Amino acid sequence: MKILITGATGGIGYEFALIYAQKKYNLVLVARNTQKLQEIKKDFENKHNIEVKIIDLDLSLESSVEKLISIVDNQKIDILINNAGIGEVGEFINSDISKITSMINLNINTLTKLTHYFANKMVSNDGGKILNISSTASFQPIALFAVYSATKSYVLHFSEAINYELKDKNVKVCTLCPGPTITNFDKNANASHIQMLTKGAMSAKDVAQAGVKQLENNKMTVVVGFKNKVLAFISNINPFRELSVSISSNIMK
């Protein structure tokens, strides 16, 4: 069995890689940090006696998806974990449009292209699984986090629809929706000061374990953590959308 994981050098992506290395799965790990990839490869191959292929690419760049596909085109990937993603906190009109474009490209375009390519390969190979990482931010619009929450909403709705389309083709597309998680995400998103994204955050290991269990049980969508499940449920049944935006804005502030 071989698993491809994007964003694999830290946080949830690294924990996925570690869990599957311990399960003796061969890995294809994709990330920007070449040195960290090399360290992980050496560590995992020595400790777990598996094959680890590393690919250093910045998947926020449009050309990177085609490069990745060309590198793995002759390999059978049994599980794809689309984990790579970025966020940015702040008022939309004051945000750097280049950062917004990179976010949309990574969170949506790259994920969509990889899902399309590997889903087709998996259909040809008579089976496979794809896990797309969304977020509890996908269940409602969030002021000051507008683009990120919108991209994650796309991931959720897209993945659930594609899963239905593939239900008779032995390919499962699952969606994992974690809430605040202890990673470098909040730092990279300029959000370390926002308690909603840091207080009571789950460990990346716990989130990854939930994702592995989800794949094993072929569950379409999983929200990680009881509190996050409650908040997602309330967001889904709340008919007052303007109120939801107002509440989320006050929390972010």
Q: Is the pLDDT of residue 187 over 90?
A: no
Rounded average pLDDT over 198-211: 87
Task: Please give the residue that has the higher pLDDT: either 230 or 56.
Answer: 56
Q: Which of 60, 58, 89 is nearest to 186 (CA)?
A: 89
Local structure of residue 201 (DSSP, 8 states): P
Residue found by looking up tokens 């619009």 in the block: 141
Task: Please give the residue that has the higher pLDDT: either 151 or 186.
Answer: 151
Q: Is the pLDDT of residue 169 over 80?
A: yes
Sequence-distant (≥ 6) Cβ neighbours of residue 212 within 8 angstroms? 16, 19, 20
In this predicted structure, which of 110-119, 174-183, 193-202 has the lowest mean pLDDT?
193-202
Task: Please give the residue that has the higher pLDDT: either 107 or 142.
Answer: 107
pLDDT at site 118? 98
Is the pTM here over 0.75, yes or no? yes
pLDDT at site 153? 96
Q: Categorize the per-residue pLDDT at 228 as very low, low, confident or very high, splitting at 50, 70 and 90.
A: low
Q: What is the mean pLDDT of the chain?
A: 89
pLDDT at site 192? 52
Rounded average pLDDT over 186-192: 50
Task: Please give the residue that has the higher pLDDT: either 136 or 225.
Answer: 136
- Token pair, residue 38, equals 């090399």
Question: How far is the C-alpha of 219 from the C-alpha of 140, rounded, in Å?
Answer: 22
- Full residue range of the structural domain in which residue 186 is found: 2-252
pLDDT at site 217? 97
CATH of the domain at 53: 3.40.50.720
- Domains of the chain: total: 1
Task: Please give the residue that has the higher pLDDT: either 196 or 152.
Answer: 152
Over residues 83-128, the pLDDT tens digits come to: 999 999 999 999 999 999 999 999 999 999 999 999 999 999 999 9
Q: Categorize the per-residue pLDDT at 240 as very low, low, confident or very high, splitting at 50, 70 and 90.
A: very low
Over residues 151-160, the pLDDT tens digits come to: 999 999 999 9
Strand ranges across the sheet with 171-177: 52-56, 26-31, 2-6, 79-82, 128-133, 171-177, 221-223
Q: Is the pLDDT of residue 141 over 90?
A: no
Helices (H), 105-225: 111-124, 146-165, 185-188, 195-198, 204-217
pLDDT at site 250? 55
Question: How far is the C-alpha of 146 from the C-alpha of 128, rounded, in Å?
Answer: 33
Q: Categorize the per-residue pLDDT at 148 as very low, low, confident or very high, splitting at 50, 70 and 90.
A: very high
Q: Categorize the per-residue pLDDT at 231 as very low, low, confident or very high, splitting at 50, 70 and 90.
A: low
Q: Is the pLDDT of residue 185 over 60?
A: no
